[in-house]
A and B are shown apart, each in its own frame.
Chain A
């Protein structure tokens, strides 16, 4: 059973606009959430994270929102740039440093 789900396999956005990537989870024990970015032929690289004590974490153009009651988190990229085109994975763990569970990824394409 998939505990972390990314229901949109792909997303296309115009440069300069906002990209919103969504992630849902089922395990109420998850307490720490992460987003990874992956380019072809490379491993995922850590992008941003959030713990359950917060509902928002911002880092430059990237903001992650967490809605614990809905078991939902989202990654906002503003403004989107062509270099943001990649596959984005959502991951969750019961606490920081614990083993992670990954979603299937969303392929973001930012068009010039």
Chain B
């Protein structure tokens, strides 16, 4: 089945560091990739939607300059948390879809980010 690889799976770094998370679709071309952040009580927050070759669409309340998203190819999207602070510590999950709308989404295994 379709596989999405997310890397790294966990990272611990000092406050002020920038962290890049990669999301790759391994066996299909991902027209659209999504970035989520998991909050307590299991809620998932959609941070942004990225389409290959165009700027990401950020959800209300998500800082574009803080969370940089690049979708440079049909198989790779990256999320960079710039100048990370302890409040950015969370579980970040990407998903990729070959299309839009009601197409299946394939989730990565997530990245646990801990900022000291």
| A residues lining the B interface (CB < 8 Å) | 2, 5, 9, 34, 36, 38, 40-44, 46, 49, 86-87, 89, 91, 93, 96-97, 99-102, 104-105, 107
Contacts and interface: CB of A to CB of B under 8 A. Distances in A.
B51 to A, nearest CB: 12
Contacts of B41: 46, 97
A60 to B, nearest CB: 18
A104 to B, nearest CB: 5
Interface residues of B, number: 28
B90 to A, nearest CB: 10
A36 B102 contact: no
Contact of A9 (B43, B95, B104): B104
Contacts, number: 64
Contact of A107 (B2, B46, B93, B104): B104
B3 interface: yes
A46 B36 CA distance: 13
B88 interface: no
Nearest to A49: B42
B43 A102 contact: no
Contacts of A38: 105
Contacts of B102: 40, 86-87, 107
Contacts of B46: 42-44
Given A40-B102, A89-B107, A91-B42, 11 more contacts: A2-B3, A40-B100, A41-B49, A43-B36, A44-B36, A46-B43, A89-B105, A100-B93, A101-B109, A104-B105, A105-B105
B40 A99 contact: no
B1 A34 contact: no
A87 B1 contact: no
